[in-house]
């Protein structure tokens, strides 16, 4: 059994030990007790003990607090008079003598004799300590001894049991023992733990007062465990009794818990009629808010204030006023509380902050068996329960974050108060990979690196995953958790082979596999909690899968130019570099003078890929590579018809990711790569050869792009060889405009006009009608009225119908095969050039 699965002491660090004979008395004006070391008990000032002592009752009957721990120094001069008979469960028949020191530390905080002119002052001076030794000398033990110790205390007259120890494992046996104590009127107080993670058991059980630690400046100590089960915090560091009659500084939640137990003893001495839950409520309702208003998972209900607990009247319903959603009282997802609905008109609103998505189970108990309470979530869905509990608990689905719950009596005419207890129990969500608790139900995950977050949402939950590997590679698994209640373990197995268990660490620790060299096949991964942690867990695990495939280069061998892989145009080719000096050669052919485009992509991070281009005679034509950090680069180069080679090299080998190469060849016609086979190819070539039109400077003519007014004016001015121009006065065309001269010539020739608002609109596109009119004006055509419209989509009322009639009659335009012309559609560059070529060739 791992040490972390045993009960452990919850003290952080023992400091210097001092003996009474070596320390002088403190200034009596500063202290209200005659104990010389009271000055070192600064934690008592944080919880206002002087004021509490002033308000305490000098009870004639000594209340018994059982310390279930490592025993107590039975001869310590500051404790000997405050002890009752206990028991040694680790060495039956022996006295419960402390062989570790921890139990003596705890006992001193509670019951060191006050005002005896030696040592320190215990918080509850009339309290008797029942020493119960349930832990070994090294501070470890099992849950069986813990449960036996609690039952012994209950059966032998203890009123309070303090448990400065804990374990991460939930236990049905301990849960039943805790319930046994509650049923017999005994209050349990336990330390939360010191690892900065989930609250330990038994502090995590709902009816146990779970105690965390606070720093001297009133904040939660970063080492103190936290979560929905935390009820209250007390000072982290104390000065207390030590073995051998001495004293020492000690810290941790082990030392915070006995402070709360002592406060409970003082409460019971003053108010002996209170039930355990009322003592617990009084401690919580009088605590001092720290980091947040109301309950919070880091400080619970706040810092222990013993003075308030002895002076502030007890409230059966400490949450009032909480009659509206805006006044909702904070409630933990794991708690037992008591409150009252004063009448049918009273409403109790609670705000429940769930640490994860899941469900919250509400268990209501009412003193009036005939009464009922209606529960409403977020003023929406409603449930009803009654005092006989016939309907059982209510299960409410919640999302991570805040949920509001409203309680109100079912009987809308009720005038008397209805007292109730409310227990909340949270269950985490079912992860999206379920149902995968058997190997044959394994959830299939893709063969790549990834992160999986899952939960153990039900009893004995196991999560199986299967990863199918098509390529050899390396695999590393890392399993971590956000709670110490999970002791994660990984089982790894190739289908049909022996499995490997990875479980080297303890509760809340991270498990990491070695880097495994794997062949293709199906591999199973089982994520689990250790076998004796069977209950559902409030927490998540994270499984990190790091997979690096060893890919096979399908083009090898291609290390020499004569081994070059032939690359067809516009096809993808992939490869890897198995060693630093690996070289990959490719060959491609262009059947026409072309613009070659070479695209390289999927280059791994921190790798440099160099591509060198050669002609068929192995003359170098250029060398190119990706920029630092870039996963791709692109090459464009005009090449004549023929064969070419590409040599690829990398600065560092990679075989877990394949680079990708795609070579394209675009025939160049009149300097363009986008007119080959186009219906207007001949007209574009003719106009380009005559230097009437040009492209966009990147080997593209864009024949199907709409033509602008400026482009049309420039082309037509060159085609008509216009020489004269006049100064333009358009406010959107100044002398710096690229088409200023051509537009000026067209205006001088009275072939184009501007708009009434004084603009020309050089970047506006021409419609097919405007294009036709412009060409018609260059031919001195004015249009004709007679005859019918030649196109089915042009009515006689259309403004340009005359021009269309004349241009159609004389054979300049034809329209579409269906008899339409689409006059208001954009005219393309190809359409304009074709019509212009027809005019020039007349």
Determine the Cα angle at 230 with ends 227 and 234, to 5°.
125
- Of 188, 176, 191, 212, the C-alpha closest to 280 is 188
Which residues are registered as beta bridge partners of 426? 360
First to last CA, the chain: 102
**Residue 435 structure tokens:** 């149902």
3-class DSSP assignment, residue 456: coil
Cα–Cα distance measured from residue 659 to residue 472, given in angstroms and rounded to the nearest whole number: 18
Buried b (16+ CB within 10 A) or exposed e, 576-589: bbeeeebebbbbbe
225: closest CA among 507, 625, 599? 507
Q: With H, G, I as helix, E, B as strand and everything else as coil, classify residue 662.
A: strand
Cα(540)–Cα(530) distance, integer angstroms: 15
Round to whole Å and give the CA distance between 650 and 603: 10
With beta carbons less than 8 A apart as the criterion, state whether 78 and 67 touch: no
CA distance 420 to 413: 18
Q: Is 164 a catalytic residue?
A: no
| Catalytic entry in 12, 35, 48, 69 | 69
* Catalytic residue (one of 48, 76, 102, 334): 102
Other residues' Cβ atoms within 10 Å of the Cβ of residue 369 = 10
Whether 643 contacts 567, CB under 8 Å: no
* 260-291 burial code (b ≥16 CB/10 A, e <16): bbbbbbbbbbeeeebebebbbbbbbbbbbebe
CA dist., res. 778 & res. 775, Å (int): 5
560's tokens: 């020499």
Nearest to 197 by CA among 167, 171, 173: 167
Identify the bridge partners of residue 548 per DSSP, sorted by sequence position: 474
- What secondary structure does DSSP assign to 243-309, as a single string? GGGEEEEEESHHHHHHHHHHHHHHHHHH-TT--HHHHHHHHHHTSBP-SSSS-BTTTBT-B--HHHH
| Residues in CB range of 93: below 8 A, 6 or more apart | none
Rounded CA-CA distance 40/43 in Å is: 8
Please say whether the beta carbons of 241 and 78 come within 8 A.
Answer: yes
For the sheet containing 633-639, what is the strand order? 572-577, 654-667, 594-601, 633-639
Taking a C-beta distance cutoff of 8 angstroms, is the pair 465, 442 a contact?
yes
Tokens of 277: 């839950």
Question: Is 76 part of the annotated catalytic residue set?
Answer: no
What is the Cα–Cα distance from 404 to 323, expressed in whole angstroms?
A: 12
Coil, strand or helix: which one is 330?
strand
Residues 6 or more apart whose CB falls under 8 angstroms from that of 842 comprise none
**Angle of CA points 250, 251, 253, to nearest 5°:** 135
d(CA 504, CA 511): 7
The Cα 318–Cα 419 span in angstroms is 12
Widest distance between CA atoms in the chain? 132
Q: Are 249 and 239 in contact (CB under 8 A)?
A: yes
Looking at residue 57, the DSSP 8-state letter turns out to be: -
Structure tokens given for 280: 């617990």
Q: Which of 254, 298, 528, 778 is catalytic?
A: 254
Q: Is 457 a catalytic residue?
A: no
User: Between β-strands 500-502 and 450-454, what pairing exists: parallel, antiparallel or unpaired?
Assistant: unpaired
- Residues with a catalytic annotation lie at 69, 102, 254
């Amino acid at each position: 059994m791992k040490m972390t699965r045993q009960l452990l002491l919850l003290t952080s660090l023992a400091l210097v030990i001092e003996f009474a004979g070596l320390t002088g008395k403190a200034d009596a004006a500063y202290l209200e007790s005659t104990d010389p070391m009271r000055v070192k008990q600064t934690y008592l000032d944080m919880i206002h003990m002087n004021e509490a002592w002033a308000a305490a009752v000098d009870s004639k009957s000594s209340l018994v607090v059982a310390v279930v721990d490592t025993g107590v120094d039975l001869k310590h001069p500051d404790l000997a008079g405050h002890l009752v008979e206990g028991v040694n469960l680790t060495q039956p028949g022996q006295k419960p003598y402390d062989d570790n020191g921890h139990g003596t530390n705890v006992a001193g905080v509670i019951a060191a004799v006050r005002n005896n002119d030696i040592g320190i002052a215990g918080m509850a001076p009339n309290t008797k300590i029942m020493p119960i030794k349930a832990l070994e000398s090294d501070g470890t033990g099992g849950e069986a001894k813990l449960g036996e110790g609690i039952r012994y205390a209950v059966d032998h007259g203890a009123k309070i049991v303090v448990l400065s120890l804990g374990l991460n494992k939930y236990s049905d046996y301990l849960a039943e023992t805790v319930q046994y104590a509650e049923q017999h009127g005994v209050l349990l107080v336990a330390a939360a733990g010191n690892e900065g993670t989930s609250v330990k058991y038994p502090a995590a059980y709902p009816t146990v007062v779970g105690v965390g630690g606070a720093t001297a400046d009133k904040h939660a100590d970063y080492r103190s465990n936290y979560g929905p089960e935390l009820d209250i915090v007390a000072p982290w560091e104390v000065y207390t009794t030590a073995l051998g009659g001495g004293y020492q500084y000690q810290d941790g939640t082990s030392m915070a818990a006995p402070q709360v137990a002592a406060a409970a003893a003082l409460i019971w001495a003053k108010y002996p009629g209170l039930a355990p839950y009322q003592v617990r409520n009084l401690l919580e309702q009088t605590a001092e808010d720290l980091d947040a208003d109301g309950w919070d998972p880091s400080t619970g209900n706040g810092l222990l204030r013993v003075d308030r607990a002895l002076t502030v009247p007890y409230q059966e319903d400490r949450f009032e006023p909480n009659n509206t959603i805006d006044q909702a009282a904070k409630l933990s997802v794991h708690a037992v509380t008591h409150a009252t609905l004063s009448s049918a008109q009273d409403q109790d609103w609670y705000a429940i902050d769930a640490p994860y998505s899941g469900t919250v189970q509400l268990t209501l108990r009412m003193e009036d068996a005939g009464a009922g309470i209606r529960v409403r979530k977020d003023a929406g869905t409603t449930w009803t329960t009654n005092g006989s509990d016939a309907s059982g608990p209510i299960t409410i689905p919640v999302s991570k974050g805040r949920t509001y719950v409203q309680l109100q009596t079912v009987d809308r005419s009720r005038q008397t108060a209805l007292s109730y207890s409310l227990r909340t129990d949270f269950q985490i969500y079912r992860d999206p990979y379920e149902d995968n608790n058997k190997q044959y139900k394994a959830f299939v995950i893709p063969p790549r690196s990834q992160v999986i977050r899952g939960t153990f949402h039900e009893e004995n939950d196991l999560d199986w995953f299967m990863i199918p590997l098509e390529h050899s590679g390396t695999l590393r698994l890392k399993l971590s958790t956000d709670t110490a209640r999970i002791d994660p373990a990984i089982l790894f197995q190739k289908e049909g082979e022996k499995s490997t268990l990875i479980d080297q660490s303890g509760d809340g620790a991270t498990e990491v596999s070695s880097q495994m060299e794997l062949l293709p096949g199906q591999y199973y991964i089982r994520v689990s909690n250790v076998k004796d942690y069977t209950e559902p867990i409030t927490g998540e695990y994270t499984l990190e899968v790091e997979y690096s495939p060893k890919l096979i280069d399908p083009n090898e061998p291609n290390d020499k130019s004569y081994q070059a892989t032939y690359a067809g145009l516009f096809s993808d080719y992939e490869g890897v570099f198995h060693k630093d000096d690996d070289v990959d050669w490719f060959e491609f052919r262009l059947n026409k003078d072309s613009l070659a485009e070479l695209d390289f992509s999927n280059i791994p991070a921190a790798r440099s890929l160099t591509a060198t281009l050669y002609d068929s005679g192995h003359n170098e034509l250029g060398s190119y590579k990706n920029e630092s950090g870039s996963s791709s680069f692109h090459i464009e180069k005009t090449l004549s018809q023929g064969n070419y080679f590409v040599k690829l090299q990398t600065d560092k080998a990679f075989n877990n990711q394949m680079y990708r190469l795609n070579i394209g060849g675009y025939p160049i016609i009149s300097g363009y790569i986008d007119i080959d086979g186009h219906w207007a190819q001949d007209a574009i070539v003719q106009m380009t050869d005559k230097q009437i039109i040009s492209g966009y400077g990147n080997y593209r003519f864009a024949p199907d792009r709409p033509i602008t007014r400026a482009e049309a004016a420039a082309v037509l001015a060159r085609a008509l060889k216009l020489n004269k121009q006049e100064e333009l006065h358009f406010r959107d065309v100044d002398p710096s405009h690229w088409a200023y001269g051509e537009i000026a010539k067209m205006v001088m020739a009275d072939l184009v006009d501007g708009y009434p608002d004084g603009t020309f609109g050089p970047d506006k596109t021409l419609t097919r009608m405007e294009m036709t009119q412009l060409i018609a004006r260059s031919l001195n055509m004015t249009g004709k009225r007679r005859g019918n419209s030649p196109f089915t989509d042009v009515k006689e009322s259309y403004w340009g119908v005359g021009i269309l009639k004349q241009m159609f009659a004389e054979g300049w335009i034809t329209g579409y095969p269906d008899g339409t012309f689409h006059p208001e559609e954009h005219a393309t560059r190809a359409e304009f050039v074709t019509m212009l070529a027809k005019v020039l060739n007349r």
